């Protein structure tokens, strides 16, 4: 078992993924823009430190993400991976990026295309949004008189479930685009708003929100969901039971 480089290693998904890889016996090299114990410093935006971080690496698990420019950072990564002779590039992505017209999603879709065209043996996994994304949606409204809940359903997934799938894929041969994964429940955001409201002990009314435009319609049409049974097991309620209150 060779060295595995994890980008975005200190992020929401990076931390449990690194922990699971190490528990499974992998020699993990954690890449971050920061410096600190156990970290290899490198910046995918500028390329600084990336070639050195890639030296001797067999597998790359790409969990790095940014609001803008994901495709640019991914291009830097795959160029270094190709030069280093990496045998497997495992790339994390998001369900619905080809159907939901968000600017961030366009960048994520372009990043996938960079991976496909790079010539490095690869696997691409898409997952639905994490439970914490839903929490952030509501917590961002902490100073409003009501809690606005967009009028569509979501299928949030626990980061631990995604990390478990990534470890499975890291130990398997490159497979191209693999089946998407989503959480165990498809839930109305209004329902989740009531669950969150109870957890933070607020009495503010929950108000459904309907917006015009293609993006909202894409969510209403279910393009952020995964057809068939959910992959994950962790529910939104379970996440709130252990997550810091926000």
SS3 call for 109: helix
Positive or negative: CA dihedral 138, 144, 147, 151: negative
CA distances (Å), origin 118, targets 2, 70, 109: 22, 15, 14
**Maximum Cα–Cα distance across the chain:** 57
DSSP 33-88: SS--TTEEE--TTT-TTHHHHHTTEEEEEE----SS-HHHHHHHHHHHHHHHT-SE
CA distances (Å), origin 22, targets 38, 53, 58, 154: 12, 18, 15, 32
May I ask the CATH class of domain 3-242?
A: alpha beta
Give dist(CA 84, CA 140) in Å, integer.
Answer: 42
Cα angle 59, 12, 19; round to 5: 50
Give dist(CA 149, CA 189) in Å, integer.
Answer: 6
SS3 call for 92: strand
Q: In a structure prediction context, what are the per-residue pLDDT tens digits for the chain, which is 246 residues long? A: 689 999 999 999 999 999 999 999 999 999 998 888 889 999 999 999 999 999 999 999 999 988 778 999 999 999 999 999 999 999 999 999 999 999 999 999 999 999 999 999 999 999 999 999 999 999 999 899 999 999 999 999 999 999 999 999 999 999 999 999 999 999 999 999 999 999 999 999 999 999 999 999 999 999 999 998 889 899 999 999 988 877
pTM of the model: 0.96
Give dist(CA 43, CA 64) in Å, integer.
Answer: 10
Q: Which two tokens stand for residue 123?
A: 């696997």
SS3 call for 170: helix
Q: What is the pLDDT of residue 188?
A: 97
Q: What region does 80 belong to: left with phi over 0, alpha with psi -120 to 50, or beta? A: alpha
Give dist(CA 11, CA 208) in Å, integer.
Answer: 31
Positive or negative: CA dihedral 113, 99, 72, 178: negative
Q: What is the pLDDT of residue 122?
A: 98
Give dist(CA 133, CA 182) in Å, integer.
Answer: 14
> How many CB atoms lie under 10 A from the CB of residue 25?
9
Q: Which two tokens stand for residue 179?
A: 């089946």
Task: Give the CA dihedral 47, 52, 55, 57, nearest 10 degrees.
Answer: -60
């Amino acid at each position: 078992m060779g060295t595995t480089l994890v980008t975005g290693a200190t992020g929401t998904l990076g931390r449990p993924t690194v922990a699971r890889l190490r528990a499974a016996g992998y020699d993990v090299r954690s890449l971050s823009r920061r410096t600190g114990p156990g970290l290899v410093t490198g910046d995918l935006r500028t390329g600084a430190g990336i070639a050195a971080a890639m030296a001797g690496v067999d597998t790359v698990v790409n969990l790095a993400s940014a609001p803008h420019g994901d495709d640019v950072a991914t291009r830097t990564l795959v160029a270094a991976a190709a030069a280093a002779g990496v045998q497997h590039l495992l790339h994390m992505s998001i369900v619905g990026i080809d159907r939901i017209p968000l600017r961030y999603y366009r960048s994520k879709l372009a990043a996938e295309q960079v991976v496909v065209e790079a010539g490095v043996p690869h696997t691409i996994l898409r997952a639905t949004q994490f439970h914490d994304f839903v929490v952030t949606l509501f917590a961002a409204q902490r100073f409003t008189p009501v809690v606005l809940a967009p009028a569509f359903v979501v299928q949030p997934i626990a980061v631990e479930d995604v990390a478990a799938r990534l470890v499975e894929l890291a130990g398997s041969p490159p497979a191209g685009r693999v089946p998407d994964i989503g959480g165990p429940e498809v839930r109305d955001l209004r329902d989740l708003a009531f669950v969150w409201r109870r957890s933070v002990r607020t009495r503010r009314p929950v108000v459904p929100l309907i917006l015009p435009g293609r993006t909202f319609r894409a969510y209403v049409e279910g393009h952020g969901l995964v057809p068939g049974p959910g992959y994950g097991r962790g529910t939104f309620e379970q996440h709130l039971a252990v997550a810091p209150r926000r």
